[in-house]
């Protein structure tokens, strides 16, 4: 470097940067700009989720068949334990209880695995975060999307089970679509919240399975909340029924199972489902965005 005299010589680095319009590297963009950037990465988000999904079973001999076989085996195990051994089907006939149980397991697993994937979305992909630029929210969103695709495979099993136990396709089945859309939105929000928390405290990955299992047993996956809690104070059943996991499960059961009438659902159930989805998705997104520039730090 020859020390050529320059009009910039006396300037401090910050002034020099301002003069030539340089910006701080890695600064957090505004919220609307962030949404725009994220939308610009939609192809990456989709491709990444599909890649993860495919990579999961690529070494197995049966390959992608496991996408359907895994949920089917899951349903069988739960039926064996709760249907045959424990007899949790109080107040319901077999033809209602089995689709009831399978729906519950699948719908809850959707939320559960989104949370677990969310915890590791940043902390488990630090290499990626430290190597490339993209809105970090792409990762948790992508993981939630992977779980949605996984659930769509499970839905095949679920529809077969419903038909096998005497609930035939009807217009009500279309309600599955808005119910899933709302739950997906809710899961994305949850994954975003967990991703930020997990990037600061990776220990959450050890803790969350216990939290999730507690949540599962409290949400009436294997039993009907109103019947199980008959005689207990009403607010306990109310609190359990209004929790988002129970709401989304009930909506799906109502849509699919003939013998699961409207009376089993709490009042204003769609409004509550929408409320949870919007609240958690928007809240989670803003919460995640607030720490955007700090995710690379180990």
Partner 1 sequence: MADDMNNASEAHIPTVIADGLHIVYRVNGAKTGKGSATSALSRIVRRGDERGVRKVHAVKGVTFTAYRGEAIGLIGSNGSGKSTLLRAIAGLLPAERGKVYTDGQPSLLGVNAALMNDLTGERNVILGGLAMGMSREQIRERYQEIVDFSGINEKGDFITLPMRTYSSGMAARLRFSIAAAKDHDVLMIDEALATGDRKFQKRSEARIRELRKEAGTVFLVSHNNKSIRDTCDRVLWLERGELRMDGPTAEVLKEYEKFTGK
Q: Token pair 């320059």 is at which residue?
A: 6
What is the pattern of x (binds partner 1, CB under 8 A) and - over residues 3-22? Answer: -x-x-x---xxx-xx--xxx
Query: Could you tell me how many residues of this chain bind partner 1 (CB under 8 A)?
Result: 44
Answer whether 220's CB lies under 8 Å from 148's CB: no
Tokens of 154: 């499970």
Determine, following the binding rule CB under 8 A, whether residue 25 of this chain makes contact with partner 1: yes
Kindly write out the interface string for residues 239-278 of this chain, putting x where it contacts partner 1 by CB under 8 A and - elsewhere: ----------------------------------------
**Those residues with Cβ within 8 angstroms of residue 161's Cβ, 6 or more apart along the chain or in another chain:** 75, 98, 99, 102
Q: Which of 84, 85, 132, 171 binds partner 1 (CB under 8 A)?
A: 132
State in angstroms the smallest separation of the CB of 150 from partner 1. Answer: 16
The residues near 20 (Cβ < 8 Å, ≥ 6 apart) are none
Q: Is 232 in the site for partner 1 (CB under 8 A)?
A: no
Residue 32 engages partner 1 in binding (rule: CB under 8 A): no
**How many CB atoms are located within 10 Å of the residue 96 CB?**
20
What's the number of CA atoms in the CB half-sphere (13 Å) around residue 73? 6
Q: Which pair of tokens denotes residue 152?
A: 């769509």
User: For 261, left (φ over 0), alpha (ψ -120 to 50), or beta?
Assistant: beta
Binding segment (CB under 8 A) for partner 1, from list 44-52, 77-85, 168-176, 272-280: 44-52
Q: Is 61 in the site for partner 1 (CB under 8 A)?
A: no
Minimum separation from the CB atom of position 202 to partner 1 (A): 7
Is position 60 an interface residue for partner 1 (rule: CB under 8 A)? no
Residue with tokens 């963009």: 29
Among 33, 36, 54, 217, binds partner 1 (CB under 8 A): 54
Is 190 in contact with 280 (CB distance < 8 Å)? yes
Query: Interface with partner 1 by CB under 8 A: which residues?
Result: 1, 4, 6, 8, 12-14, 16-17, 20-27, 40-41, 43-44, 47-48, 51-52, 54-55, 58-59, 125, 127-134, 202, 293-294, 296-298
């Amino acid at each position: 470097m020859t020390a050529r005299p320059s009009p910039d010589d006396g300037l401090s680095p910050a002034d020099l940067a301002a003069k030539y319009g340089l910006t701080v590297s890695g600064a957090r963009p505004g919220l609307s700009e962030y949404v725009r950037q994220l939308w610009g990465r939609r192809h990456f988000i989709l491709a990444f989720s599909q890649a993860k999904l495919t990579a999961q079973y690529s070494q197995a001999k049966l390959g992608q068949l496991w996408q359907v076989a895994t949920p089917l085996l899951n349903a069988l195990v739960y039926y064996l334990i709760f249907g045959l051994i424990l007899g949790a089907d109080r107040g319901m006939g077999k033809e209602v209880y089995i689709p009831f149980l399978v729906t519950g397991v699948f719908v809850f697993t959707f939320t559960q695995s989104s949370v677990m994937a969310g915890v590791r979305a940043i902390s488990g992909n630090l290499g990626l975060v430290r190597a490339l630029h993209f809105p970090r929210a792409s990762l948790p969103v992508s993981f939630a999307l992977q779980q949605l695709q996984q659930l769509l495979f499970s839905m095949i099993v679920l529809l077969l089970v419903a038909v096998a136990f005497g609930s035939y396709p009807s217009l009500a089945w279309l309600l599955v679509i808005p119910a899933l859309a709302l739950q997906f939105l809710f899961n994305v929000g949850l994954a975003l919240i967990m991703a930020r928390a997990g990037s600061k405290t990776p220990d959450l990955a050890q803790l969350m399975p216990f939290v999730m299992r507690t949540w599962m047993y409290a949400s009436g996956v294997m039993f009907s909340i109103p019947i199980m809690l008959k005689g207990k104070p009403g607010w306990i059943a109310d609190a359990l029924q209004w929790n988002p996991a129970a709401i989304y499960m009930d909506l799906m059961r109502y849509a699919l199972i003939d013998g699961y009438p409207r009376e089993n659902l709490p009042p204003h159930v769609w409004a509550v489902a929408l409320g949870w989805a919007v609240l958690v998705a928007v809240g989670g997104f803003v919460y995640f965005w607030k720490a955007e520039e700090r995710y690379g730090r180990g």
